[in-house]
């Protein structure tokens, strides 16, 4: 069912396309100075990642936002980061830069109805714009860029699709498998596929923040060979829940989980971090690197040792129980299919 697009949104879309077309935005990104260093200088078996914990809503002009992104990317590249991760709704920063109504639209995240209206009115344009901009950023700086969620139309429905730009050809994408209540109320439908992206520098899996509630997705991803799970997040509603689930999932499945949050209204302290198996963390707590619980924008970098990860022995495999699995299978698929 299609929602009627309010006139203001329709006008905004035409204005936006006229002033900031996806192609023009791409060209502007590609005209950026490449900075002191470029990515792709990975050491074998080591993956340097950067979480850009952005402060939302700082810029109203695309050019200003882009210069700021260039500065942050430069910081990430100084630490030789090959994988750069953005927060969940990074694309909304582009909405805010639109010529009119951007600021109002930014508050779309305050209610599912407003978010749905944003998607119906501007969604296709925003998806195209965000893909062009983030793909160009990845290309310009020679990194893999996990660009958070970009709402994408699939048939008559909308998906919260996560994108990883920078590989050869099409970007790697993964839809949220268990969207949260807000997204579902806004009409976001769950994904139907789960896939990993193999690269020379590691095998990546993108998962939504709510997806981390389900160990099954990580288990499937790990069985497909994933060693780094990237989870884009927004402001943490609760520090404990936000911090600990990625860390605990990393320990359960013997892989790295990288989570990037955004600083929004400053009401909630946010945490971004890279987590891994206990044996690979300095304090034996599963934390590889983590931001302090604060409200500041910052670039967090972490060094993920994939060689050591592959050398770990999975004790759980030794304790597998076919009887337990049979019971689980029966309950997961009650009709016996």
Instruction: Give the interface with other proteins as residue ranges (CB under 8 A).
Output: 177-178, 181, 190-194, 210, 213-217, 219-220, 223-224, 237-241, 244-245, 248, 251-252, 285, 315-316, 319, 321, 323-325, 327-329, 331-333, 337
| DSSP per position, 26-39 | HHHHHTS---S--S
CB of 337 to other proteins, least distance (A): 7
Nearer to other proteins, 26 or 249 (CB): 249
Nearer to other proteins, 9 or 279 (CB): 279
Cβ neighbours for 132, distance < 8 A, ≥ 6 positions apart:
22, 23, 25, 26, 29
Q: Both tokens of residue 172?
A: 């790697």
Nearer to other proteins, 168 or 193 (CB): 193
CB of 324 to other proteins, least distance (A): 5
247 secondary structure, DSSP code: H
Cβ neighbours for 62, distance < 8 A, ≥ 6 positions apart:
20, 25, 28, 94, 97
Nearer to other proteins, 98 or 242 (CB): 242
Nearer to other proteins, 156 or 332 (CB): 332
Q: How far apart are CA 38 and CA 204, in angstroms?
A: 21
CB of 323 to other proteins, least distance (A): 4
Nearer to other proteins, 292 or 317 (CB): 317
Nearer to other proteins, 28 or 252 (CB): 252
Residue 196's nearest CA partner among 155, 229, 157, 242 is 229
Q: How far apart are CA 197 and CA 205, in angstroms?
A: 6
CB of 141 to other proteins, least distance (A): 33
CB of 209 to other proteins, least distance (A): 12
Judging by beta carbons within 10 Å of its beta carbon (0-12, 13-18, 19+), is residue 313 exposed, middle or buried? exposed
CB of 44 to other proteins, least distance (A): 27
Specify whether the CB–CB gap between 85 and 146 falls below 8 A. yes
CB of 333 to other proteins, least distance (A): 6
Residue 88's nearest CA partner among 268, 245, 313, 260 is 260
């Amino acid at each position: 069912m299609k929602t009627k697009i309010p006139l203001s949104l329709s006008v905004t879309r035409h204005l936006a396309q006229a002033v900031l077309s996806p192609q023009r935005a791409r060209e502007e990104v590609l005209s950026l100075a490449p900075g002191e260093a470029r990515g792709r200088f990975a050491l074998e078996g080591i993956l340097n990642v950067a979480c850009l914990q952005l402060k939302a809503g700082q810029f109203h002009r695309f050019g200003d936002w882009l210069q700021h992104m260039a500065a942050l990317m430069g910081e990430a590249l100084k630490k030789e980061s090959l994988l750069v991760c953005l927060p969940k709704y990074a694309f909304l920063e582009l909405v805010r830069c639109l010529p009119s109504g951007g600021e109002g639209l930014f508050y779309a995240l305050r209610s599912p109805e407003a978010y749905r209206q944003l998607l119906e009115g501007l969604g296709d344009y925003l998806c195209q714009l965000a893909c062009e901009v983030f793909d160009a950023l990845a290309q310009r700086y020679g990194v893999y860029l996990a660009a958070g969620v970009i709402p994408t139309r699939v048939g008559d429905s909308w998906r919260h699709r996560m994108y990883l730009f920078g590989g050869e050809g099409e970007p790697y994408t993964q839809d949220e498998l268990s969207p949260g209540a807000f997204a579902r109320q806004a009409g976001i439908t769950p994904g139907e596929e789960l896939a990993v992206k193999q690269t020379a520098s590691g095998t990546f899996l993108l998962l939504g923040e709510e997806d981390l509630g389900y160990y099954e997705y990580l288990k499937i991803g790990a069985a497909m060979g994933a060693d780094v799970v990237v989870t884009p997040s927004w402001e943490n509603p609760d520090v404990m829940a936000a911090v600990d689930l990625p860390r605990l999932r990393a320990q359960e499945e013997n892989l790295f989980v990288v989570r990037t949050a955004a600083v929004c209204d400053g009401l909630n302290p946010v945490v971004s971090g890279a987590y891994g198996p206990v044996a690979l963390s300095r304090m034996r707590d599963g934390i590889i690197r983590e931001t302090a619980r604060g409200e500041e924008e910052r670039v967090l970098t972490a060094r993920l040792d994939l060689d050591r990860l592959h050398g770990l022995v999975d004790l759980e495999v030794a304790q597998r129980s076919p009887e337990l699995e049979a019971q689980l299978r029966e309950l997961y698929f009650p009709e016996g299919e």
